[in-house]
Chain A
Amino acid sequence: QKEVEQNSGPLSVPEGAIASLNCTYSDRGSQSFFWYRQYSGKSPELIMFIYSNGDKEDGRFTAQLNKASQYVSLLIRDSQPSDSATYLCAVLSGGSNYKLTFGKGTLLTVNP
């Protein structure tokens, strides 16, 4: 059973809209959560990390974590065509403080 689940998409939004990307995880002991962006043919690039319940904002990006619901999300405000990429949710599981478990990723397309 996959430990980290994401909607594979594709998710298509118009330029300027809010894109909402969701992720659920199965390990209740998970402590750290990461969002990576991956352009086609490129390696994953860290966008945000979050450790505590609630919201964490960085520019146009907001990560939201709800440990009770085992749910983490990424909101992208004022979406730009350059945001078009696959977004990977990654979890540092409770039993490990080094092994990242990734979801399959959600493909986001921002239409001009």
Chain B
Amino acid sequence: GAGVSQTPSNKVTEKGKYVELRCDPISGHTALYWYRQSLGQGPEFLIYFQGTGAADDSGLPNDRFFAVRPEGSVSTLKIQRTERGDSAVYLCASSLGLQETQYFGPGTRLLVL
């Protein structure tokens, strides 16, 4: 595709449920990033992949959050036992490589009731 795509665009779930958010990066981009944006705030870094491996997951808030990128392309962010405080826009970005411009997808708006 022409840009980063994310699915679903919106997700409403109940507290305690499990959710998966998917990101399809720009073709050829080896670096993939997840950020989270709360209302009125800038995006905050969650995790960075170079290829298949998570090179830095220091931004994940706790062990309920996990992300994978098994084939070095599509990535899935997984949130277990969701809490109301997890409600935010989850943004995925990709870049050709390190220090290259990061291009953002449209985001997934997660609402935990």
A104 touches B40 (CB 8 A): yes
A10 close to chain B: CB less than 8 A: no
B42 touches A104 (CB 8 A): yes
**A32 contact set on B, CB distance < 8 A:** 99
A100 touches B102 (CB 8 A): yes
Interface size counted on chain B using CB atoms at 8 A = 25
Interface centre among B42, B44, B103, B107 (most CB of A within 10 A): B42
Interface centre among B31, B44, B104 (most CB of A within 10 A): B104
B42 touches A90 (CB 8 A): yes
Q: Which of A61-95 contact B (CB under 8 A)?
A: 88, 90, 92
Q: Which of B51-73 contact A (CB under 8 A)?
A: 55-56, 59
B41 touches A104 (CB 8 A): yes
Q: Which residue of chain B has its CB nearest to the CB of A96? A: B56
B31 touches A98 (CB 8 A): yes
Contact partner of B42 (CB less than 8 A), chosen from A42, A45, A88, is: A88
Chain A to chain B contacts (Cβ below 8 Å), 7 pairs: A88-B43, A98-B31, A98-B48, A98-B95, A99-B59, A100-B33, A102-B44
B43 touches A98 (CB 8 A): no
B48 touches A45 (CB 8 A): no
Instruction: Give Cα A86–Cα B33 distance, bound, in whole angstroms.
Output: 21
Q: Which of A1-54 contact B (CB under 8 A)?
A: 4, 31-32, 34, 36, 42-46, 49
